[in-house]
Protein backbone atom coordinates (compact mmCIF):
# COMPACT_ATOMS: atom_id res chain seq x y z
CA UNK A 1 0.00 0.00 0.00
CA UNK A 2 1.44 3.37 -0.98
CA UNK A 3 0.86 6.49 1.03
CA UNK A 4 -0.50 9.28 -1.11
CA UNK A 5 -0.27 12.92 -0.16
CA UNK A 6 -2.61 15.79 -0.85
CA UNK A 7 -1.62 19.15 -2.27
CA UNK A 8 -0.92 20.47 1.22
CA UNK A 9 1.32 17.52 1.99
CA UNK A 10 -0.88 15.90 4.67
CA UNK A 11 -1.01 12.11 4.36
CA UNK A 12 -4.34 10.47 3.50
CA UNK A 13 -5.92 7.53 5.27
CA UNK A 14 -7.41 4.52 3.58
CA UNK A 15 -10.76 6.26 3.10
CA UNK A 16 -9.20 9.47 1.78
CA UNK A 17 -9.54 11.50 4.98
CA UNK A 18 -6.75 13.55 6.51
CA UNK A 19 -5.06 12.62 9.74
CA UNK A 20 -5.93 15.07 12.48
CA UNK A 21 -3.32 15.99 14.99
CA UNK A 22 -4.62 16.12 18.55
CA UNK A 23 -2.35 19.10 19.24
CA UNK A 24 -3.75 21.05 16.27
CA UNK A 25 -7.32 20.35 17.39
CA UNK A 26 -6.50 21.49 20.93
CA UNK A 27 -4.94 24.74 19.69
CA UNK A 28 -8.01 25.47 17.55
CA UNK A 29 -10.37 25.07 20.50
CA UNK A 30 -8.19 26.78 23.09
CA UNK A 31 -9.59 30.24 23.99
CA UNK A 32 -7.41 33.18 22.99
CA UNK A 33 -6.15 35.44 25.77
CA UNK A 34 -6.95 39.07 24.87
CA UNK A 35 -5.64 40.59 28.09
CA UNK A 36 -2.61 42.29 26.53
CA UNK A 37 -4.66 43.82 23.73
CA UNK A 38 -7.30 45.07 26.19
CA UNK A 39 -4.65 46.68 28.44
CA UNK A 40 -3.06 48.36 25.41
CA UNK A 41 -6.36 49.92 24.33
CA UNK A 42 -7.24 50.96 27.90
CA UNK A 43 -3.91 52.73 28.18
CA UNK A 44 -4.61 54.54 24.90
CA UNK A 45 -7.99 55.66 26.17
CA UNK A 46 -6.64 56.88 29.49
CA UNK A 47 -3.76 58.78 27.89
CA UNK A 48 -6.07 60.99 25.81
CA UNK A 49 -7.45 63.91 27.79
CA UNK A 50 -10.68 65.53 26.70
CA UNK A 51 -11.34 69.19 27.25
CA UNK A 52 -14.01 70.27 29.69
CA UNK A 53 -15.79 72.08 26.87
CA UNK A 54 -16.33 68.83 24.99
CA UNK A 55 -17.47 67.05 28.13
CA UNK A 56 -20.01 69.81 28.82
CA UNK A 57 -21.32 69.67 25.25
CA UNK A 58 -21.82 65.93 25.43
CA UNK A 59 -23.58 66.10 28.79
CA UNK A 60 -25.89 68.90 27.57
CA UNK A 61 -26.74 66.87 24.48
CA UNK A 62 -27.61 63.84 26.61
CA UNK A 63 -29.79 65.95 28.92
CA UNK A 64 -31.68 67.42 25.96
CA UNK A 65 -32.29 63.97 24.55
CA UNK A 66 -33.60 62.63 27.84
CA UNK A 67 -35.93 65.62 28.31
CA UNK A 68 -37.19 65.23 24.74
CA UNK A 69 -37.82 61.54 25.30
CA UNK A 70 -39.82 62.22 28.47
CA UNK A 71 -41.93 64.84 26.65
CA UNK A 72 -42.64 62.41 23.82
CA UNK A 73 -43.76 59.74 26.28
CA UNK A 74 -46.08 62.23 28.01
CA UNK A 75 -47.59 63.26 24.68
CA UNK A 76 -48.22 59.63 23.75
CA UNK A 77 -50.00 59.07 27.08
CA UNK A 78 -52.17 62.16 26.51
CA UNK A 79 -53.07 60.99 23.01
CA UNK A 80 -54.08 57.57 24.30
CA UNK A 81 -56.25 59.11 27.02
CA UNK A 82 -57.91 61.64 24.69
CA UNK A 83 -59.12 59.09 22.11
CA UNK A 84 -62.61 58.64 23.59
CA UNK A 85 -65.35 59.76 21.21
CA UNK A 86 -67.88 60.15 24.06
CA UNK A 87 -67.83 62.99 26.55
CA UNK A 88 -68.73 62.78 30.23
CA UNK A 89 -72.12 64.33 29.40
CA UNK A 90 -72.85 61.49 27.00
CA UNK A 91 -72.10 58.93 29.68
CA UNK A 92 -74.27 60.78 32.21
CA UNK A 93 -77.19 60.98 29.74
CA UNK A 94 -76.84 57.28 28.94
CA UNK A 95 -76.87 56.44 32.63
CA UNK A 96 -79.98 58.55 33.27
CA UNK A 97 -81.86 57.05 30.33
CA UNK A 98 -81.11 53.41 30.91
CA UNK A 99 -80.38 52.93 34.59
CA UNK A 100 -81.96 55.71 36.68
CA UNK A 101 -85.20 56.53 34.83
CA UNK A 102 -88.46 54.56 34.97
CA UNK A 103 -88.51 51.22 33.26
CA UNK A 104 -90.30 51.04 29.98
CA UNK A 105 -91.82 47.80 28.80
**pLDDT for 10-32, tens place per residue?**
556 666 666 678 888 888 888 88
> CA end-to-end span of the chain, whole Å?
107
Average pLDDT on 72-76 reads: 88
Instruction: State the average pLDDT for the chain.
Output: 79
Assign 101 a pLDDT band (cuts: 50, 70, 90). low
d(CA 56, CA 37): 31
Contacts of 37 (CB under 8 A, 6+ apart): none
- pLDDT at position 50, please? 75
Q: What share of the chain has pLDDT > 70, as a percent?
A: 73
Q: What is the pTM of this model?
A: 0.30
Amino acid sequence: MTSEKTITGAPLTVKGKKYKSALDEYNKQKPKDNTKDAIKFLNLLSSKKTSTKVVEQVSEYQQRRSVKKVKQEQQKKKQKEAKSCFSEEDFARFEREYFVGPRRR
